[in-house]
């Protein structure tokens, strides 16, 4: 598979990490181009009118975003390591896991932006609490959904596990004080298995 595929992204974004893990699992070669979307001279708008990463630039120069569209495209590119079931209920379940995990990340990022981008006197605690409530109920739903199964979708590793692993990794990275391991031992077990995979090891956010 060609190195002419480019991925615009950062080393800290959990959505970019999800795409990089999928690339690694599927053995798709690509060029990672670091893009700081918050820098005044960012060129991200030339590729993604929404100004966000990840953004995939294909061989013919066409752009694909957001991360959920990118991973679906990548999964269809090669039969190696299928990560999304082909159709039906199982496919909807895996995509719902992804929506749940991404939704937890969305809420974490909204809470973090409120805390880091606004002066303390302009911050809304009500807004932060609203987002952290979603994190709470979202992570609980992950734990309930996983139960005693080896993987989120049952017996096979899938995009569901990748998305959940990225959300848990982002919790550790930016919200280390939230003790999700203490509350949900099944998620801790899943996370240990995921964290040992080369695709996860190689995409860990910088310390
Ligand atoms: N739903 C999008 C979310 C992407 C996203 O919000 N990325 C963040 C980086 S973690 C970003 O680029 N933020 C810049 C902004 O919101 O202006 C996806 O899954 O790709």
Q: Which atom of ligand 1 is nearest to the CA of 14?
A: 10
For residues 132 and 112, give the distance between their C-alpha atoms in angstroms, rounded to a whole number.
10
pLDDT above 60 (res 195): yes
Confidence of residue 183 (pLDDT cuts 50, 70, 90): very high
- pLDDT tens for 98-133 read 999 999 999 999 999 999 999 999 999 999 999 999
More confidently predicted of 3 and 71: 71
The answer to which of 1-10, 51-60, 154-163 has the lowest mean pLDDT is 1-10
Task: Report the separation in Å between the CA atom of 132 and the middle of ligand 1, taken as the mean of its atom positions.
Answer: 18
Measured by CA distance, the residue closest to atom 12 of ligand 1 is: 52
Strands (E), the chain: 6-9, 31-34, 55-57, 63-64
Q: Give me the mean pLDDT over the 35-61 stretch.
A: 96
DSSP 157-204: --HHHHHHHHHHHHHHHH-TT--HHHH-HHHHHHHHHHHTSHHHHTTP
Q: Note the Cα 101 to chain centre separation in Å.
A: 7
- pTM, entire model: 0.97
Task: Report the separation in Å between the CA atom of 129 and the middle of ligand 1, taken as the mean of its atom positions.
Answer: 21
Cβ contacts of 69 within 8 Å, gap of 6 or more: none
**Residue appearing with tokens 């060129």:** 43
Q: Which atom of ligand 1 is nearest to the CA of 65?
A: 20
Nearest of 15, 2, 96 to residue 53 by alpha carbon: 15
Give the per-residue pLDDT at 207: 81
Pick from 15, 54, 167, 203 the residue to mutate for probing ligand 1's pocket: most ligand atoms within 8 Å of its CB.
15
User: Using CB atoms within 10 A of its CB, is residue 74 exposed (0-12), middle (13-18) or buried (19+)?
Assistant: buried
pLDDT averaged over every residue in the chain: 96
Give the per-residue pLDDT at 119: 96
pLDDT above 80 (res 1): no
- Ligand 1 pocket, residue 54 CB under 6 Å: yes
Q: Give me the mean pLDDT over the 85-108 stretch.
A: 97
- Ligand 1 pocket, residue 136 CB under 6 Å: no
Give the per-residue pLDDT at 2: 57
């Amino acid at each position: 598979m060609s190195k002419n595929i480019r991925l615009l992204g950062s080393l800290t974004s959990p959505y970019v990490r999800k795409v990089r893990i999928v690339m690694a699992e599927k053995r798709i070669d690509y060029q990672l181009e670091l893009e700081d979307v918050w820098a005044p001279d960012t060129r991200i708008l030339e590729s993604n009118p929404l100004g966000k990463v990840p953004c995939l630039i294909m061989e013919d120069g066409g752009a694909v975003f957001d991360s959920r569209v990118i991973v679906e495209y990548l999964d269809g590119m090669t039969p190696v390591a299928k990560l999304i079931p082909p159709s039906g209920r199982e496919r909807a379940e895996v995509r719902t896991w992804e929506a749940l995990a991404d939704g937890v990340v969305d809420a974490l990022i909204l809470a973090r932006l409120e805390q880091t981008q606004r002066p303390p006197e302009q911050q809304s605690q009500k807004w932060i609490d609203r987002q952290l409530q979603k994190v709470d109920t979202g992570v609980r739903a992950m734990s309930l959904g996983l139960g005693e199964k080896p993987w989120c979708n049952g017996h096979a590793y899938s995009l569901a596990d990748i998305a959940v692993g990225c959300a848990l990794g982002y919790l550790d990275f930016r919200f280390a004080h939230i003790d999700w391991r203490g509350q949900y031992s099944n998620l801790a077990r899943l996370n240990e298995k995921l964290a040992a995979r080369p695709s996860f090891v190689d995409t860990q956010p910088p310390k």
